[in-house]
Amino acid sequence: MCNYPLPPAFIENMRPLLGAEMDAFLASYEQPALRGIRFRDERRPLPEEELTGIIPYARNAYNLCPGSAAGASPLHEAGAYYIQEPSAMTAAAVLAPEDGDRVLDLCAAPGGKSTQLAMSAQLALLVSNEPVFSRAQILSRNIERMGIHNAVVTCAYPPALSEKWPQFFDKILVDAPCSGEGMFRRHPETRAEWTIAAPQSCAARQLSILRDAARMLRTGGRMAYSTCTFNHWENEGTIAAFLKEHHNFRLVPFALPGLPAAPEGMLRIWPHKMPGEGHFVALLEKTALGDNEPTNPACIAALPGPNRAAADAFSAFCQETGCVPPPVCNAVFSGKLLSAPAVLPDLSKIRTLRIGLQLGEMRGKVFLPDHAMALSAGFERQFSIAAEQAASYLHGDTLPCGDRLRGYYAVTWNDWQLGLSLIHI
């Protein structure tokens, strides 16, 4: 008998799915929830004892020991890594974007899957969308923190996007809002939010989201659908309902290293069978245009470029600081100078929080760099600080720097840039 206080109706719903495995499933809730970590690059700036094994289906990913304080380290704020539950890394791995792809993460907050997608290939464009503005702000901060330079962060509901962006994307991830049954161990508070009506209510919303996603996918493109829940209605049931309406889609078999193969194009992750929390992922391919879809795909849009004075001021800043390599200043959005992706959809009337890499802004004739630039671009001019100073710097405190420095410097700790600071003498 499980001592973990799960909703009784949830347990009864699970019995037909699990059968003889029910006791093993319930026993898994007596174990601690697992955490994973994805490093930004090949560097692993954590003690080896904090990493308890490779996560084989995600790039630079490891299981994180329960006592790790990696989330409180200044390296976290520097974008050295992203802490993410291991099974949540499967959906982006299944979608497997390729170099040059246009990718949409339709329900993207807080950003774990978006940052994983961005680091999986040299994407032409990543659009990370979150309909809830407060969550979209968190998403935007995580895109910035991880130094991602080719992403657009939007805040819109799927129907508004599908109306403007038909057939625009090569790959789409739909990590759908769900009843959250797979998170009962990691986030116990979700037990109180679950009701017996939640699964079927969520399934109706998930089907609606998939309909909009289907319109935005090009013919031949692929779409991954994922949830962090167990029940049939939100998983296989939602996929079956979608395929019944969309004969121009098919399920695609897949296999991830270290996990069971999915010959029918759908995979369940169970906490009593695999490391991680509950998860479901399906891979779909669009084989033809659907009924009532526009025959012409959405057009590529353009942003205005900077004026000569702004471009010259940015160039002078790069020369002064030794920005390596200097990002291209090719666009302006909401008063910010940008290094924008070469491919953009029409963003008019779409609430947009971030486009590409925000470089900075002009104040009169002076260029003021953006924090995002410090987390994405390299700088030859650096000012290294000690471990005990890093937290103070991130808190906004003034640090001593001697009397021989002047101008902008990248402040570094442990070879990671924490920000840009203007040193006055």
Q: Residue 147: left if φ>0, alpha if ψ -120 to 50, beta else—which one?
A: left
Task: Return the number of other C-beta atoms located less than 10 Å from residue 14's C-beta.
Answer: 18
What the block records as the tokens of 381 is 């001019």
Q: Which residue has the tokens 């329960």?
A: 66
Whole-angstrom distance, CA of residue 25 vs CA of residue 20: 10
Contact yes or no for 320/347 (Cβ under 8 A): no
Whole-angstrom distance, CA of residue 299 vs CA of residue 118: 22
Closest CA relative to residue 104, chosen from 123, 84, 85, 132: 123
With 0-12 / 13-18 / 19 or more C-beta atoms within 10 angstroms meaning exposed / middle / buried, residue 400 is exposed
What the block records as the tokens of 231 is 């029940």
Whole-angstrom distance, CA of residue 294 vs CA of residue 288: 12
> Which residues are designated catalytic?
228
Per DSSP, 326 falls in state P
Whole-angstrom distance, CA of residue 64 vs CA of residue 52: 6
Cα 100 to chain centroid, rounded:
18
